[in-house]
Amino acid sequence: MRVLGFMTGTSLDAVDMAVLDTDGEVIQGFGPAGERKLSESVRELMLEATEAALNWRRGEPRPDIFDRAALAGAEEHFAAGEAFLKAHDLAWSDFDLIGMHGQTVLHERPQEGRVGRTVQLADAQWLADAVTVPVAYDFRTADVAAGGEGAPLAPAYHVARAQASDMAPPLAVLNVGGVANVTFWFGGEDFAAFDTGPGNGMIDLLMQGRGAGRFDDMGRYASVGLVDEAVLHALLAHPYFEAPPPKSLDRYDFSLEPLEPLKLEDAAATLVAFTAEGVRRGFDLVGAHPREVIVCGGGRRNPEIMKALAARLSMPVRSAEEVGWRGDSIEAEAFAYLAARTARGLPISYPRTTGVAAPMSGGRIARPAEA
């Protein structure tokens, strides 16, 4: 089937889009990919929804802003899709299925005796009605309800992507988004994954909090800063790093408070080291020794992060583009792939990726209303 995948990350930067031809098992072909920057109004609304989510106590009614943000997010996806399809001489009717992840505004990992919570906002029914194509969505909540972490979900796609490139295991795929997560492919259907720690998220929040822009473009601030080893040690004392995988994070799980005494350049350099050291500790925790590490997500565009990863890991570290992948589109491709798996009732989460008891299907499908 031909599937259009949508992804919006926690950086609130853009709607990413990618087209796949796939049955949810094998990738038959890659169509175009692209992005459209989020409008400022939708970005602000999602930030408000995130703030409401952070203050949403269990047992309280769902915040009213969620519904408004979900509709605005769907409308933003529609506008992005319209421009994308026009640019590539495509129509909505060219697709069998749409995969829409939605905007994550809350992710709480499960604790002893308490299931997690995860919220991705996007009005899938509105989009399905608007484009008259079924929309797969809500990929995480079934896993969370079953006691899983709800993340990461891209590992099955990482393996399929490596197989489509005729790569050989053992291999690691590292996604450095707001949070960093790694997939270890050991061969065949044997793979494992977890969140290693912060990715770009803390650096973005640092820059925004100090009025220096939305992100550290090309690592400009970090490149002239010095790592504060005492602050880095304090950050790494968080119990998350000793917890066994599978495990997952929200970009707000770590505080910027230890960095407050540092000047911006040193704080940025320290957070780059924090991201890379979290990855290294994740590798050590599972004793994984892949032949190479392929880095996707926005973090691969930060030279300081790539340098720090190369310095801390004992195997080659390569960007997605170096192996012929579309680094900015991997997650949009992943949710196209997972949409196809959802449509076929195939598993999208596994004991060694989210901690769920057995491989399980997930996601729901919104079908367009009959005309």
For 23-63, write each residue's pLDDT tens digit.
999 999 999 999 999 999 999 999 999 999 999 999 999 99
pLDDT computed for residue 230 by the predictor: 98
- In the chain, how many H helices and how many E strands? 10, 13
197 & 216 share domain: yes
97 within some domain: yes
The dihedral sign for the CA sequence 9, 164, 337, 347: negative
- Note whether 144 and 203 are same-domain residues: no
Return d(Cα 73, Cα 29) in angstroms, integer: 28
What are the CA-CA distances from residue 208 to residues 83, 153, 212, 265, 305 (Å)? 29, 28, 6, 14, 19
Examine the pLDDT at 158 and tell me if it is beyond 60.
yes
Do 253 and 335 fall within a single domain? no
pLDDT digits (tens, 9 = 90+) for 315-330: 999 999 999 999 999 9
The answer to whether the beta carbons of residues 306 and 259 sit under 8 Å apart is no
Output the pLDDT for position 11: 85
Entry pTM: 0.96
Nearest to 277 by CA among 305, 256, 251, 303: 305
Compute the average pLDDT of residues 334-342. Answer: 98
As for how many domains the chain has, the answer is 2
What whole-number distance in Å separates Cα of residue 285 and Cα of residue 294? 19
Q: For position 361, what pLDDT does the model report?
A: 97
Domain identity same for 342 and 314? no
Is residue 157 in some structural domain? no
Tell me, yes or no, whether 117 and 193 share the same domain: no
Are 291 and 207 members of one domain?
yes
Burial (CB count <10 Å: 0-12, 13-18, 19+), residue 25: middle
The average pLDDT across 286-293 equals 93
Residue 227 maps to a domain: yes
Residue 251 — very low, low, confident or very high, per pLDDT cuts 50/70/90? confident
Residue 315 domain flag: yes
| Band of residue 237 on the pLDDT scale cut at 50, 70, 90 | very high
Interatomic CA distance for residues 101 and 118, integer angstroms = 12
Give yes or no: residues 229 and 135 share one domain: no
Q: Is there a single domain that holds both residue 259 and residue 193?
A: yes
pLDDT tier, 250 (very low <50, low <70, confident <90, very high otherwise): confident
Say if residues 273 and 308 touch (Cβ distance below 8 Å). Answer: yes
Per the prediction, the chain carries an average pLDDT of 96
Q: Does residue 60 belong to any structural domain of this protein?
A: yes
Q: Does any domain span residue 158? A: no
176 and 104 in a common domain: no
Q: 185 and 130 in one domain?
A: no
pLDDT > 70 in the chain, percent: 100
pLDDT at 100: 98
Q: Specify if 156 maps to a domain.
A: no
Domain of 113?
2-150+329-366
* pLDDT value at 181 more than 70: yes
Q: What is the pLDDT of residue 252?
A: 86
At residue 10 the predicted structure's pLDDT band, cuts being 50, 70 and 90, is confident
Q: Which pLDDT score is estimated for 370? A: 72
> Same structural domain for residues 143 and 219?
no
Check which CATH number belongs to the domain holding 288 and give it.
Answer: 3.30.420.40
Please report whether residue 161 resides in a domain: no
Mean pLDDT calculated for residue range 100-128: 95
| Residues 57-104: tens digit of each pLDDT | 999 999 999 999 999 999 999 999 999 999 999 999 999 999 999 999
Asked if pLDDT for residue 371 goes beyond 60, the answer is no
pLDDT (mean) for 331-345: 98
What's the alpha-carbon Rg for the chain, to the nearest Å?
A: 19
CA nearest 258: which of 223, 227, 222?
227
Q: Are residues 333 and 287 in the same domain?
A: no
